[in-house]
Amino acid sequence: MAHILIVDDDRDILRLMEFSLKRAGYEVTVASNGPQGLEIVSTITPDLIIADIMMPEMTGYEFTRRLREMPGMESLPLIIYSARFQPIDKQTALDAGATEYMPKTLTPTEIVSQVKKLLGEDTPAAQEQLGATFAFFSLRGGVGLSSLAVNVAVALAYSQKTPVCLTDLNPFAGHAGLMLGLQPKTHLQTVLSSPSPVSGPVLREHLGDHVSGVQLLASPLLPSPTSAAQNQVEAVITALRSEFKFSILDLPHIPDSATLEILAKVTKLVLVLSPDMPSLQSAVAGAQLLTQAGITAEQIAPVLNHNSPASGLSKEIIQKTIRLPLAAEIPFEAGMMAAINSGKTLVLHNPKSPTSLAIARLAVTLVKQEQ
Amino acid sequence: MSISRLRQPTLTADFFTGSHRFSASVVLQNRRLTDILNDRLTDFLHIKDVYVSRINNPGEILGTYKTATLLKPHITFVALPTEADGLSKEHKYNTFSKSTEEIFITLPSFEISGRLEIIGKLDLKAILTIGTTKFMPIFQGNAVNALYPSVTFSGPVLLVNKVAVELFSVIEHG
């Protein structure tokens, strides 16, 4: 966990920055003026410093110059941020030795994003060290998305012999817990409303254990009065990826802006559809929405789920309409309902059924494509 | 919400005279800075957390002062951090009869270009008549110091003191 020092004489801004950065999973130390900031730096070495310019005892420029004179501080990432927003202010900050300059008109989310950039947490190399995330998505309800996500999570945990985290991102009344036969006491909103910053160890305290090795982060039963901010959801995803080799996300049918923003960060988007016209129309719209969210065609894995015994539209028509090859076709299984009703997953309840085998193959396909 | 807005009810802006730049905060008390500047009852503007720079070296901070008073007639223009901070109620709600003109203004030591939003018919004399507003908002404004042309300032809104205007012209295209 990176350690960030914030130096600002404005208590309100210190509190807001501290809150935002802790939420994003960073350890934060604050100083209310330049001399105090320098004193802290002489005892601990932060990974990054954020300092204001307009401070009465010592300006941010002077703080930067003195910091750079300290042994070992020559190249420490230092962001100067200020209400002085003229180009000359940026130039003066960089001349004094700052690594980056940010105006205070930026939102906390944008600042967190800059911090990540400077710490190299958004580089391809850093991303490669994180686990893979497979998000299951459909704009239409009733296509069997949650049951597919749950069964793929179990199949993955079994086939890869590693714990898999399943996160139910539905804002409320998600069914993943029910399908796994778990009664989670905490959920995603509990994590987000916790005073502790989101991190791997904090997340683990809120996960429900399933016998298969799946760790469930459930959705709340009832709506929360506050919705999750983008950087909060992002912090959860980052923490999941740092803790688990594989994570599955069960996305809501109507994704909010926070969910849409994180889509570009997932490894694969499993676009689930059933063989009927409304579902096909939703799949076309869903694919367009994903493209707008920055997802490439290679990242989208359309899966045709036969959730009823009726034959419906053919595989060929579907592929031609959505202009993407199907990653898998899951046959109808009459026993799926019984498995859900008993809180047992089909892949454990009846592992030899054609549906279970198709789900297991899908899990393997996702892993292979990721590698 | 931007970070600078958290410290309500204050707004931090750059105030310019012919020779100095003052980066300072103004206590808004439920008013916009434009309304405070246009307040005809007083020529004094109370500012706090003042950072003073000379105009030829505007990045360097000469001194800092907890509080100070600026004389409004000596302010040539004010650079605001966001467009919303510069809109008067008149500009905010009048959307039908508004037109935009590219303008060029000279002030003591500064040349300013940008967009002026005009409500009604274009009449240069009427715009410069003090009336109820002493400061006029210039959007996407750019200010060049006439003595040190490498010294420039810009902002989503520059509030220009009408009293300080020497030349006011509309740029005509084509």
Q: Does residue B140 lie within any of the structural domains? A: yes
Decide if pLDDT at A279 tops 80.
yes
pLDDT at B22 over 90: yes
Higher pLDDT, A20 or B132: A20
pLDDT digits (tens, 9 = 90+) for A217-242: 998 888 876 666 656 677 788 788 88
Give the pLDDT of residue B5: 47
Q: Where are the beta strands (DSSP E) in B10-97?
A: 10-16, 20-27, 44-54, 63-71, 77-80
Q: How far apart are CA B50 and CA B22, in angstroms?
A: 6
Domain A3-123 in CATH: superfamily? Response regulator (3.40.50.2300)
Tell me the CATH class for A130-370: alpha beta
Better pLDDT: B50 or A371 = B50
What integer is the mean pLDDT of B56-68?
Answer: 93
Q: Is B172 on the interface with A (CB under 8 A)?
A: no
What pLDDT score does A58 carry?
93
Q: Which two three-digit tokens encode residue B46?
A: 């109370």
Question: A81 contacts in B (CB within 8 Å)?
Answer: 3
Mean pLDDT of A128-134: 80
From the list B8, B3, B25, the residue with the least C-alpha distance to A19 is B3
Give the closest of A12, A53, A89 to B6, CB-based: A12
Q: What is the pLDDT of residue B149?
A: 92
Q: Calculate mean pLDDT across residues A120-142.
A: 79
Residue of A nearest to B51 (CA): A54
* Confidence at residue B78, expressed as pLDDT on a 0 to 100 scale: 96
Whether B81 has its CB under 8 Å from any CB of chain A: the answer is yes
H helices of chain B, where? 33-37, 89-93, 124-128
Stretch A333-342: mean pLDDT: 89
Would you say residue B5 lies in a domain? no
Contacts of A14 in chain B (CB under 8 A): none
Rounded Cα gap, residues B6 and B104, in angstroms: 34
Lowest mean pLDDT among A6-20, A212-226, A292-306, A320-334: A212-226
User: Binning pLDDT at 50, 70 and 90, where does residue A146 land?
Assistant: very high
Establish if B160 belongs to a structural domain: yes
Please name the member of B7, B51, B155 whose beta carbon is closest to the beta carbon of A10: B7
Q: Which residues of A touch B151 (CB under 8 A)?
A: 88
Q: Could you tell me the residue ranges of all domains in chain A?
A: 3-123, 130-370
Chain B segment 43-62 residues within 8 A of A by beta carbon are 49, 51, 58-61
For B115-123, the CB contacts below 8 A with 24+ separation are B115/B139, B115/B140, B115/B141, B117/B91, B119/B90, B119/B91, B119/B94, B122/B170
The tally of CA atoms less than 13 A away on the side-chain side of residue B119 is 12
What is the DSSP code (8-state) at residue B57? B
Residue A327, SS3 per DSSP: coil
Bigger pLDDT: A123 vs A60: A60
Mind telling me how many Å the CA of B129 is from chain A's nearest CA?
30
Give the tens place of pLDDT for each residue, B81-128. Answer: 887 766 665 555 555 566 788 999 999 999 999 999 887 777 777 778
* Region of A295 on the Ramachandran plot (φ > 0 left; ψ -120 to 50 alpha; else beta): beta
pLDDT confidence bin for B1, thresholds 50/70/90: very low
pLDDT-derived band at A160 (thresholds 50, 70, 90) equals: confident
**Is B134 among the domain residues?**
yes
Residue of A nearest to B5 (CA): A105
Matching fold, domains A3-123 and A130-370: yes
- At how many degrees (to 10) do helices A230-243 and A108-118 cross? 30
Query: In this complex, which of B2, B23, B153 lies closest to A54 when CB atoms are compared?
Result: B23
Answer yes or no: is pLDDT of B168 > 70: yes
Ranges A36-40, A116-120, A248-252, A334-338: which has the least confidence: A116-120
| Tokens linked to A137 | 């998505």
Give the mean model confidence (pLDDT) for residues A48-66: 94
How many domains does one find in chain B?
1
- Residue A134: the pLDDT is 93
What ipTM, to 2 d.p.?
A: 0.86
* % of chain B with per-residue pLDDT over 90: 58
Q: Which residues in chain B are contacts of A12 at CB distance < 8 A?
A: 6-7
pLDDT over 80 at A82, yes or no: yes
How much of chain A exceeds pLDDT 90, in percent?
Answer: 43
Would an 8 Å CB–CB cutoff place B63 in contact with chain A?
no
Mean local confidence (pLDDT), B49-56: 95
Mean pLDDT of A325-342: 91
Which of these, B81, B92, B55, B72, lies nearest to B135 by C-alpha position?
B72
pLDDT for A318: 92
Residue B74 — very low, low, confident or very high, per pLDDT cuts 50/70/90? Answer: very high
Q: Taking residues A181-205, what's their average pLDDT?
A: 77
Place B6 in a pLDDT band, splitting at 50, 70 and 90: very low
What pLDDT score was predicted for residue B69? 97
Residues 122-161 of B with CB under 8 A from A: 151-155
Written as six digits, the tokens of B114 are: 């940008």
Strand partners, A250: A136, A168
Name the residue range of residue B50's domain: 10-170
* pLDDT tens by residue, B145-166: 999 999 999 988 999 999 999 9
Inform me whether the pLDDT recorded for A137 exceeds 90. yes
CB-CB under 8 Å, B12 with A16: no
Angle at B138 between CA A53 and CA B142, to 5 degrees: 55
Q: What is the pTM of this model?
A: 0.58
State residue B29's pLDDT score.
81
Evaluate whether residue B25 is within a structural domain: yes
Q: Which of A279-283, A292-296, B69-73 has the lowest mean pLDDT?
A: A292-296
